[in-house]
Structure 1
Amino acid sequence: MTDADDRDPALERAIGRAWADDAPWELLTELTALDHRMGGSPGERRAAELVRDAFADAGLREVDVDEFPMRYWERGTSEFAVVGPDERSFEAIALPYSPAGDVEGPLVDVGYGTPEEIEAAGETLRGGIAVASTTTPPGRRFVHRMEKFGHAVAAGAEAFVFANHVPGQLPPTGALAFDGEAAMPGVGVSAETGDWLSEYARDGGRARLRVDATTEAGTSRNVVGTVGPDTDEEIVVVAHYDAHDVAEGALDNGCGIATVLGAARLLARIEDDLARRVRIAAVGCEEVGLLGAEALADDLDLGAVHAVVNVDGAGRFRGLKAYSHAAPELASLADRVTDRYGQPVVHERDPHPFSDHWPFLRAGVPALQLHSDPADGGERGRGWGHTAADTRDKVDPRNLREHAVLTALLVRDLTRTDVPRIDDDDLRDALREQAYEPGMRASGIWPPKWK
């Protein structure tokens, strides 16, 4: 700590109480005990009520539940089989916003599903069923599922198969589109099934994929409260509380919203020390298209939002990871705070559009995303996330407490730190340099203003 912080008994007491605070773990337990928290579902509605009560108990002011419209996707049954003389069925789960459909065609293994691999497949992919891994080759930026799907659609595929790269007979899930039916059916299969499908594809095999699913009008909710002084400018702290319907959603993003609750409780104890108002938001429907964050951004005066802190992935693992999204001042802030308290941080400075900071970042609001990595580096990608193995037993309460303290300290310093707006041209150019544009255009999320 700095000398100034050593002389701040209120901060010391707040940090000390946070180390013994069971409220984040209790909220995580309540959320993971629900059947599921799929965006727009009754379970997500109950989760919003639990978060509302936890925010009010934390001492936040003006805690409100704000409803917004969305397209509710509900999973039916899925069937997937290699057809021919040696017909064989495999377990598969539909990917959210997959339309209902019945497709038969040649299997085409597109490897990692990078743009180059899909382009190399050429005409063989037209009318076929694309099979892509959930991971990306080492040494390059992570290629998101929606990008892979979008490129497969553009190449003329008729269906999409997302094969987990993590073993354990775990079919992965994940939305194919934002808030509406995707262009073609898609399913997730396990790594073990993916291995078989690669072999069948090499031998010219064909497959049949059938999905039953519905998409209809629905609603979701954001839970919002404030702490700190009533200033013209504010910091927005956001975490999504929804999860996929195949799992408890403990890691993604039960840990994130539990971390935010812990941070909110600490900030409420030191609110006289905050230089700007802090708006804390638990948003719904992140997993199906950042819909809650979009609704929140629409409701706020973004010109008055000084910065956004997106807690998506913090609390899962031991090592804190900070995405500063092309704002070097935020990277410096993370270093300054973590160094002061003897906690290392791993940096990722390049921007990406696939989490709840995006509606703010594209409007020029500086964005810091707090994530986490296993201490040993771990395996690339979500690991247990988006599978039935995303359960509470994977969570270490120490990580929740530590990251809640660090989140609160980062927000405290951010209320006192001036950060310039993100230049629109610089953001667009940074995304282009990372080769995001083709995939974002194929997925329909490249901002129209960036022609």
Structure 2
Amino acid sequence: MRRLPLAPLAAALLLAAGAASAADTTIPAAAVKTAEQLRDRALQDDTGYRIVASLTTEVGPRIAGGPADQRARDWAVAKFKELGFDKVYTEPVTYPLWQRRGEHGAIVAPFPQPLVLTALGYSAGTPRGGLAAEVVKFDSLDALKAADPARVKGKIVYIGYRMQRKKDGADYGMGSAVRTMGPPIAASKGAAGYLLRSAGTDPDSRTPHTGVTGFRDPAKAIPAAALSNPDADQLERVLAYGKPVTVKLDLDCGIVGQYTGANVIGEVTGRRHPDQVVAIGGHLDSWDPGTGAIDDGAGVAIAMAAAKLIRDLPQRPDRTIRVIAFANEEMGLWGGRAYAEKHAGEVAKFQLGTESDFGAGPVWRMSASVKPEARGAIAQIARVLEPIGVAYDARRPGGGGSDLSQMHAKGMAALTLTQDGTRYFDWHHNANDTLDKIDPKELAQNVAVYAAFSYMAAQADGDFGSAPGAFAGDGAED
């Protein structure tokens, strides 16, 4: 190619650099400064704690479709309005209605004694008078998959996978798989029932952890329940004697039709681009044994409080901050899936999003799925969050959290903001999920993270790459 004189060559390089930089998404210095102020203000603000205290006290347990479902939605609408959100509305979500009415369990032989257990979501009930059958133990889900159906037929399958405490909750991957996949596999091999060691990390608490199974067709479901950790230990000691062990299950539960609930949504309307949104939220439903404080009253409160701080600024953000309190996450992401189906055609208008659904421990890691030209803006967000303990891992994708993972799958640019989950699975899905497990200062750190990132995303010059199918196969689901 023809050589350019030195001065024109330098000018050409400067022009090229300018063109590349113009394509990058950046966050203006004024927005960064405001985000730092929001961050620091949030650390001293108790709005998030007051919100979760209100939800867990005034509504309490919120099993999807249960007696408190409508009260929870009414609470959310009223709370959004009380906090000054510009727009508050609901979107219907329909799902199977599963009810828990009663549950009992016992070892019948060789050493009769009661067992503390809880029925799992979408479990079938036992016949009137209960179900008694011999227990067959498997060491892993893979061992059950490989088992001869003749070994399983007519028996109660038991898997005793024991979760360990991890900061990132990594053991829940297998714990939840044993709970969700195990019952349908056992049923397909002719099992009469299914038991597992609770997917939880409290070693000495006699509080079983509930959760959903993979059953969707009631005709194919069998009775399924989780034992508390001490009761699972006891069953394993009895099995170790090498004698046939008979357990009786008496579960009064099952699917009784359909129910229509709703996602509840509040918005702080954008000043310049009201149709472009930063999406944050949590799920409004909870399991019934506890009051749903960490799972996921905290997430709803974090998102509401973060948006409220942004709303209270002297000037509205450029883009809309949308807070979604999702319906029925616990039994299959019903609210998240309904939301994604309804809004898939608008995915390009979603600037960035993530949901808080891992308790109230401090956020310690951020990752992102964005277009390459927006990595610099993510680094700007990271620098604002670093002083409050958040490290940016540029190698990991961002999945958007549980419900908003469904919008990410449609192409929404997404963050993952990982909280410290070391103790989370001590209380997850059990009777100990109560307000006293939330440290107000740690909750405030979460609010600070969400307020700062949401504001910076709303003020960015440029977008983060949301488009139909933009992040397919990014690994965020792993």
TM-score range, shorter chain: 0.7 to 0.9
2:409 maps to which residue? 362
Q: Residue in 2 aligned with 1:117? A: 143
Residue in structure 2 matched with residue 205 of structure 1 by the alignment: 245
What SS class does the counterpart of residue 361 from structure 2 fall into? coil
Name the amino acid aligned to 2:156. I
C-alpha spacing 1:99/1:426, structure 2 compared with 1 (3 Å):
same
Distance 2:32 2:310 in 1: 18
**In structure 2, distance between residues paired with 1:35 and 1:151:** 34
CA contact (8 A) 2:162 2:197 kept: no
Within 1, Cα distance between the matches of 2:476 and 2:190?
25
CA distance in 1, matches of 2:319, 2:157: 50
Q: Pick the aligned partner of 2:50 from 15, 23, 26.
A: 26
Query: Which shows bigger deviation, 22-31 or 123-132?
Result: 123-132
Q: Distance in 1 between matches of 2:258 and 2:28?
A: 56
Distance 1:331 1:104 in 2: 58
Contact 1:323 1:351 in 2 (8 A): yes
Is 1:235 the equivalent of 2:278? Answer: yes
Deviation, structure 1 residue 403: 0.9
> 1:199-348 counterparts in 2 under 5 A?
199-202=237-240, 203=242, 204-215=244-255, 216-227=257-268, 228-229=270-271, 230-270=273-313, 272=315, 274-300=317-343, 301-303=345-347, 304-313=349-358, 316-322=360-366, 324=368, 336-341=380-385, 342-345=387-390
Are the structure 2 counterparts of residues 93 and 368 from structure 1 closer, same or farther at C-alpha, using a change threshold of 3 Å? Answer: same
- The alpha-carbon deviation at position 361 of structure 1 amounts to 2.5
Q: How does 1:28-427 map to 2 (within 5 A)?
A: 28-33=52-57, 34-102=59-127, 103-111=131-139, 113-114=140-141, 116-123=142-149, 124-133=151-160, 135=162, 142-143=173-174, 144=176, 145-164=179-198, 165-167=201-203, 168-177=205-214, 181=218, 183-202=221-240, 203=242, 204-215=244-255, 216-227=257-268, 228-229=270-271, 230-270=273-313, 272=315, 274-300=317-343, 301-303=345-347, 304-313=349-358, 316-322=360-366, 324=368, 336-341=380-385, 342-345=387-390, 349=396, 355-373=402-420, 378=422, 382-415=425-458, 416=460, 418-421=463-466, 427=472
Distance change >3 Å, CA 20–CA 141, structure 1 → 2 = closer
The aligned amino acid for 1:105 is A
Mapped partners of 2:316, 2:331: distance in 1:
37
Gapped runs of 5+ residues in structure 1? 435-451
- In the superposition, relative to structure 1, how do residues 278 and 127 fare at CA in structure 2: closer, same or farther (>3 Å)? same
Classify 1:222/1:425 alpha carbon distance in 2 versus 1 (closer, same or farther; 3 Å). Answer: closer
Q: Which moved more, 1:55-64 or 1:264-273?
A: 264-273
What displacement does 1:178 show? 7.2
> For the residues of structure 2 that align with 1:352 and 1:4, how far apart are their CA atoms?
28
Higher relative contact order (CA 8 A, sep 6+): 2
Secondary structure in 2 aligned to 1:277? strand
* Amino acid in structure 2 at the alignment position of 1:78: E
Would the aligned equivalents of 1:236 and 1:305 in 2 still touch at CA under 8 Å? Answer: yes
- Distance apart, 1:85 and its partner CA: 4.2
Q: SS where residue 195 of structure 2 aligns?
A: strand
Relative to structure 1, the CA distance from residue 395 to residue 366 in structure 2 (aligned partners, 3 Å threshold; closer, same or farther) is: same
Identity of aligned residues (%): 24
Task: Please give the alpha-carbon distance, in whole angstroms, between the structure 2 residues aligned to 1:238 and 1:60.
Answer: 14
TM-score where L is the length of structure 2: 0.77
Give the residue type in structure 2 aligned to 1:340: V
Cα 1:397/1:209, change in 2 over 3 Å: same
SS in 1 for 2:68: helix
Tell whether the 8 Å contact from 2:35 to 2:451 is kept in structure 1 after alignment. Answer: no
Q: Which residue identity does 2:390 align to in structure 1?
A: V
Which amino acid counterpart does residue 180 of structure 2 have in structure 1?
Answer: M
Q: 1:226 to 1:3 in 2, by over 3 A?
A: closer
Cα distance between partner residues in 1 of 2:247 and 2:398: 38
Maintained 8 Å contact 1:302/1:365: no
Q: Residues 34-68 of structure 1: CA distance to partner in whole angstroms, max 9, x if unpaired?
A: 34111112312212222222222323212113333
Aligned partner of 2:15 in structure 1 is none
| TM-score, normalised with respect to structure 1 | 0.81
Name the CA distance, whole Å, in 1 between partners of 2:339 and 2:53: 26
Task: Give, in angstroms, the shift of residue 407 of structure 1.
Answer: 0.6
Summarize the Cα distance change of 1:356–1:36 in structure 2 as closer, same or farther, 3 Å threshold: same
> Whole-Å Cα distance in 1 between the matches of residues 376 and 153 of structure 2?
48
Can you give the 5+ residue segments of structure 2 that lack an aligned partner in the other structure?
1-26
Judge which range, 51-60 or 256-265, deviates more. Answer: 51-60
Question: Quick one: distance in 1 between partners of 2:79 and 2:452?
Answer: 20
> What's the RMSD between the two structures over aligned residues?
3.5
2:46 alignment partner AA: D
Q: Matched residue of 1:279: which SS?
A: strand
Structure 2 equivalent of residue 440 of structure 1: none
Deviation of 1:12 after TM superposition, in Å, equals 6.0
Letter in 1 for 2:237: E
